[in-house]
Structure 1
């Protein structure tokens, strides 16, 4: 739950405007704390961001956008399956439609389906149950020849950009550490890195996301310039382990106070002295790590 000040920070909409939209159009209906303060949900934040996009990108009035939002909510209620199994079927259908659109390079249709997913499912389900599984699926299809290189690249870029677009939604807390996130040279698979970067950003960390196949050249200068507290490396292919460990050793020697995070199956064969930096691969492990490291 978010206060109106936090909701304003997340959306870039002033508290005065949020209150006006609530009172005039009923676009959000925040609950009240025992002290009487407005509290907004993740869905409220998503709706406010959607309204803002309508005004800024489509050029329509707030009254028109509010009517469209109410229509979407009504359609969602009518289309909502009565049982959880029905919800799974709806999600599966949406996933197939989105994947088909992406395979055919239908960018606008894919964007529309993604927006529909956010409206129906909210942020977390859209991310973890729709976009990330599709990112994994296209990688698997490419490996067995069911998707072309062009299709795999297009879908990966589309979903990656969607995930990265979530970053501005979560404000940076100046009290939290900054993190440089990358896959070392040669490593192309970035799903785990992307998810952990989003997890850190939700915690308030500043994340400098460099993505896959990041060369070592220039990292030292970037660390000096950005004064990062952590470097996070993600590795799935053990073929690139020796190079990744050389990079870790170099960074530790140059920056003794730098903290290291290692994630991914590629680090499974790392010598024991690196074990203290290896992050557990499940959400519970991430939460334990965050409780110890971030407080």
Structure 2
């Protein structure tokens, strides 16, 4: 919770504007201390930031922006959940704006648009509902020859930087086992792996993100040296499944207590056996899966 001085500093807004939007337009309802001083929650700040962008960047009147904000909060529960899913059409405008900037290789505008989206929406919404379908579209256009590999590499690099920034935001717990996240040799698609790494960091797991096309040579030794207890792998091609199983065998040989979480479109059949569990594609299922993993395989670092 933040007092109005801290809120004004974080939002770069005058305190009088915050009070006006609250009292005159009923934009937000902060909590109050016993002495009557305002206390603003993270959600209050997110709402005020969104309103600020609508007014200053998009030229919307504050009264209309507040109406839009309140309307979005009155949406049925099932509609509120939509932003957490892949490819939500509600964000088509944001996706297409980013795509046009990517197609023109305008990195300055692309980063500006990303900044805008992160200020307007929850970071998880940006990653799942805007960035994921954007990268899918870029991949399709690259396959069709509309975009070059240079376009794809440029945008992938920017997106990876954004993930890395968020990886550092979440504190990790020394009581949780260390995790290594990687794609086996030959696997270049790692967006899903970054999403799952972000999820683990949200849950305070210390994660070493290795990334795409990781060779097995030296990997078991590195995992032992870093005291890695869990390895996450992602494969998009079913033909890479035998290779993933080879990685599991060699890592298990080095550390019989190693546990594995494997996901991606290349896993057409579940791997729920022994020390390995299959991960589905949706964020909503990951927490349940992680809880199952903890119950079936106690995560002890002893």
Global fold match (TM > 0.5)? yes
1:257 maps onto 2:257 in alignment: yes
On the 8 A contact 1:76/1:120 being kept in 2, the answer is no
On the 8 A contact 2:46/2:120 being kept in 1, the answer is no
Separation in structure 2 between the aligned mates of residue 177 and residue 33 of structure 1, nearest angstrom: 40
Q: Structure 1 residues 145, 280: CA separation in 2 closer, same or farther (over 3 Å shift)?
A: same
Secondary structure of the corresponding residue to residue 142 of structure 1: helix
RMSD: 4.0
Unaligned residue ranges in structure 2 (runs of 5+): 20-27, 76-82, 296-302
Residue 155 of structure 1: CA displacement? 1.6
1:124 maps onto 2:124 in alignment: yes
Separation in structure 1 between the aligned mates of residue 254 and residue 29 of structure 2, nearest angstrom: 50
Residue 206 of structure 1: CA displacement? 1.0
Separation in structure 1 between the aligned mates of residue 290 and residue 47 of structure 2, nearest angstrom: 25
Name the residue aligned to 1:94: 94
On the 8 A contact 2:142/2:152 being kept in 1, the answer is yes
Moved more, 130-139 or 246-255: 130-139
Separation in structure 2 between the aligned mates of residue 205 and residue 272 of structure 1, nearest angstrom: 22
Name the residue aligned to 1:246: 246
On the 8 A contact 1:46/1:123 being kept in 2, the answer is no
Name the residue aligned to 1:41: 42
On the 8 A contact 2:189/2:236 being kept in 1, the answer is yes
Separation in structure 2 between the aligned mates of residue 270 and residue 91 of structure 1, nearest angstrom: 32
Write 1 or 2 for the structure with the bigger share of helix.
1
Residue 150 of structure 1: CA displacement? 1.1
Residue 266 of structure 1: CA displacement? 1.4
Separation in structure 1 between the aligned mates of residue 46 and residue 280 of structure 2, nearest angstrom: 30
Name the residue aligned to 1:7: none
1:72-109 CA-to-partner distances (Å, cap 9, x unmatched) read: 69859556884669x98883223212111112111111
Residue 276 of structure 1: CA displacement? 4.6
Name the residue aligned to 1:52: none
Q: Structure 1 residues 158, 259: CA separation in 2 closer, same or farther (over 3 Å shift)?
A: same
Separation in structure 2 between the aligned mates of residue 232 and residue 33 of structure 1, nearest angstrom: 44
Separation in structure 2 between the aligned mates of residue 44 and residue 149 of structure 1, nearest angstrom: 39
Separation in structure 1 between the aligned mates of residue 144 and residue 189 of structure 2, nearest angstrom: 16
Name the residue aligned to 1:143: 143
Name the residue aligned to 2:195: 195
On the 8 A contact 1:262/1:279 being kept in 2, the answer is yes
1:103 maps onto 2:129 in alignment: no
* TM-score after normalising by structure 2: 0.72
On the 8 A contact 1:103/1:155 being kept in 2, the answer is no
Separation in structure 2 between the aligned mates of residue 220 and residue 30 of structure 1, nearest angstrom: 53
* TM-score after normalising by structure 1: 0.73
Secondary structure of the corresponding residue to residue 230 of structure 1: strand
Name the residue aligned to 1:56: none
Separation in structure 2 between the aligned mates of residue 35 and residue 250 of structure 1, nearest angstrom: 61
Residue 32 of structure 1: CA displacement? 4.3
